[in-house]
Amino acid sequence: MAMIGVVGAGVMGVGVAQNLAQGGHEVVLVDRDEAVLAEARTAIARNSRMSRLMGGPALDADTILAAISTAVGVSSLAKADIVIENVTENWDVKRAVHAELDEACSPDTVLVANTSAIPITRIASVGAHPERVVGVHFMNPVPAKPVVELIPGVHTSEQTLERTRELLRSMGKRWVDVKDASGFVSNRVLMLTVNEAAFLVHEGVATAEAVDEVFRGCFGHPMGPLETADLIGVDTILYSVEVLYEAYADSKYRPCPLLKQMTDAGLHGRKTGRGFYTYES
């Protein structure tokens, strides 16, 4: 049984930790705040109990939680076999966390960057062992999504890739091999769609409900782009679009001003109770 570190106890980190526990791993969930970690355990218990109702396997919440310990700071990950980093899509934050991980973890520890847009080679450049850094783009909600993007950086070793593939198999995941380019496949397309959908609302062309109904009703999508934005996090959408805009210097990635305003206002979607839609607590 491998010891797996999970850094970041937000929506993605919670999902990754639960999925790992379901796969039989010993998990250490790390964040900078005890209150955030306490909320994460509550969320994992709730999600485990709801798993069957959401079309997943029947899970025992106590068994899942027993496999997950929590800690403040990355020093507790010195003996981790693999660490999965899930912090926000902000380069300054990612860089700082990976610098800490490079110092705290054994050189044999595989560092997995769960990122939706930031190039893996850039992340790997932070540390002294770029060969042990690899990208895995998990989709939300993590336990329910069977496919991920697997992205090696320029220096990622074959051993790192094979250990990551083995971990993904244990989590019940299939992977799509993708070369290291900002946004990869999924978000290079999805973020353009969400950003343009936000522009439609910003310009008064249609309401959020109308935009999403076109995608559900006309194209058969289970969720519209703005419902998806609320699920992912409006702030995360903005950060991802900004990364694409910086990476490609192409005006088609210009962030919609409405995304910036909503992020500043704390209207981040489901995780804050209000985004393009309002949610019950």
List residues forming the annotated binding site for NAD(+): 8-13, 31, 89, 94, 116, 140, 271
List binding-site positions: 8-13, 31, 89, 94, 116, 140, 271
CA distance 108 to 8: 21
Are 247 and 184 within 8 A, CB to CB? Answer: no
Strand pairing report for 147-152 and 133-137: antiparallel
137 is catalytic: yes
CA distance 253 to 197: 13
Sign of CA dihedral 162, 166, 168, 169: positive
- How far is residue 217 CA from its own chain's centroid? 28
- How far is residue 107 CA from its own chain's centroid? 24
Tokens of 127: 């540390």
Please identify which of the residues 25, 98, 129, 137 carries the catalytic annotation: 137
DSSP code for 274: B
For residue 80, the surrounding DSSP H or E stretch is: none
Active site residues: 137
